[in-house]
Amino acid sequence: MDVISVIRTKRDRGELSPEQIDWVIDAYTRGDVADEQMSALAMAILLNGMNRTEIARWTAAMIASGERMDFSSLSRPTADKHSTGGVGDKITLPLAPLVAACGAAVPQLSGRGLGHTGGTLDKLESIPGWRARISNAEMLAVLDSAGAVICAAGDGLAPADKKLYALRDVTGTVEAIPLIASSIMSKKIAEGTGSLVLDVKVGSGAFMKTVEDARELASTMVGLGTDHGVRTVALLTDMATPLGRTAGNALEVRESVEVLAGGGPADVVELTLALAREMLDAAGLPDTDPAKALTDGSAMDVWRRMIAAQGGDPDAALPVARERQVVTAPSSGVLTRLDAYGVGVAAWRLGAGRARKEDVVQAGAGVELHAKPGDTVTAGQPLLTLHTDTPEKFDYALESLASAYDIAPAGTAFTAAPIVLDRIA
């Protein structure tokens, strides 16, 4: 077996054999296939695709590159959730403790942000003392005591994916549906959860820009999960507009705590409850009402135990950026569009995200939204507030916002798109 033959097969729109797939994943993980060679193969996959048989084998090879976790010792059924990434997408933070408060165990392995999409671990690391990296034994202990854990995947879990994901990010191949599906599902299947709910984002702020592409990705992942014995369902959700009122690390943690306290933005609450119901149903707990756990304080109790168990102080003050700049509405009327991608790029440029995996993020940086589509605004009123420790970045961030919103004349009719666009099971 040689890597040139594998690349040529996919370059020429051929079907990779099981032997080719097993060999190339193993050889790349061991370092026998160079990054530039795997980059060429990833680009060939992006351009020419894979069929279901190839994707299933690719996923299995990724799983086989490392260990598999086992939560059978827990007294609760396990349910996990994965989002394909968006702007202001802080849903994991209130969702995991909420579902745990309703009786399921939530082993949530999360990642960091790259580019304009935020990362759950970056958000939580704005809490003083909180640790993303914990051992498998610690993860099991937190699950047993708190009911939910949010942490980084260990080095032993699908190491082939960890290496390939970093390569895809810098070679323009992130959007390849077969590689997205196998990346997500290899980690989730190896993680050992009994059920999985996928939040597949659609719109300008998502990797999938159209409902058709999102549906293809969701169907592929649901099929992979089902084939490996994991009960899997997917929701397609809107990402044309940022979720909630903030995009940034500490800003989003603060907003998530508001949701756990029974408040918070309506769209964040709506999506959190929709995903919670799906997770509870998949875990065999369909009669539990997650809305009650937000109002009676039980979800907040789990949050506090979960954060403290990983070294964090749930009562500590969150970081605040040293500098702010307000963007005002240029005219009066109805805000009809607030582009998620533009806001996400602005938050990234202010320091909330990273261009390279080695970059350090600013905990307090980000964008605060004072109006959402459908709101009436007046000329001169605050529309957005930019937060950063490095004010020289304001102009760069403002460039991405110059065409990110539209204001129509007063009285213009506006109908908001639904948050949940489709369900695939």
d(CA 407, CA 171): 37
Instruction: Supply the CATH classification number for the domain 323-408.
Output: 3.90.1170.30
Predicted TM-score (pTM) of the model is: 0.93
Catalytic residue among 187, 188, 231, 245: 187
Catalytic residue among 10, 116, 123, 168: 168
Q: Looking at the DSSP assignment, which residues form a beta bridge with residue 377?
A: 333
Q: Looking at the DSSP assignment, which residues form a beta bridge with residue 367?
A: 247, 386
Q: What are phi and psi of 238, to 5 degrees?
A: -70, 135
d(CA 210, CA 204): 9
pLDDT value for 358: 75
> Quick one: CA torsion of 29, 31, 32, 34, rounded to 10 degrees?
100
pLDDT value for 357: 67
String of DSSP letters for 302-334: HHHHHHHHTT--TTSPPP--SEEEEEEPSS-EE
**pLDDT tens-digit map of 214-267:** 999 999 999 999 989 999 999 999 999 999 999 999 999 999 999 999 999 999
pLDDT value for 198: 98
Catalytic residue among 80, 122, 161, 267: 161
SS3 of residue 303 by DSSP: helix
Is 123 known to be catalytic?
no
Catalytic residue among 10, 81, 82, 245: 82
Dihedral of CA 209/214/220/224: which sign?
positive
pLDDT tens digit at each of 425 positions of the chain: 899 999 999 999 999 999 999 999 999 999 999 999 999 999 999 999 999 999 999 999 999 999 999 998 999 999 999 999 999 999 999 999 999 999 999 999 998 877 788 889 999 999 999 999 999 999 999 999 999 999 998 888 899 998 998 888 778 888 899 999 999 999 999 999 999 999 999 999 998 999 999 999 999 999 999 989 999 999 999 999 999 999 999 999 999 999 999 999 999 999 999 999 999 999 999 999 999 999 999 999 999 999 999 999 999 999 999 999 999 999 999 999 999 999 999 999 999 988 776 788 999 999 999 999 999 999 999 999 999 999 999 999 999 999 999 999 999 999 999 999 999 99
Is 82 known to be catalytic?
yes
3-49 has CATH 1.10.540.10 classification: no
> What residue spans define the domains of the chain?
3-49, 80-154+185-309, 323-408
Is 161 known to be catalytic?
yes
CATH topology of domain 80-154+185-309: Pyrimidine Nucleoside Phosphorylase; Chain A, domain 2 (3.40.1030)
Is 187 known to be catalytic?
yes
Is 372 known to be catalytic?
no
d(CA 230, CA 226): 5
d(CA 251, CA 384): 13
Selection from 372, 377, 367, 317 nearest residue 347 by Cα: 367
SS3 of residue 142 by DSSP: helix
Catalytic residue among 39, 83, 182, 183: 183
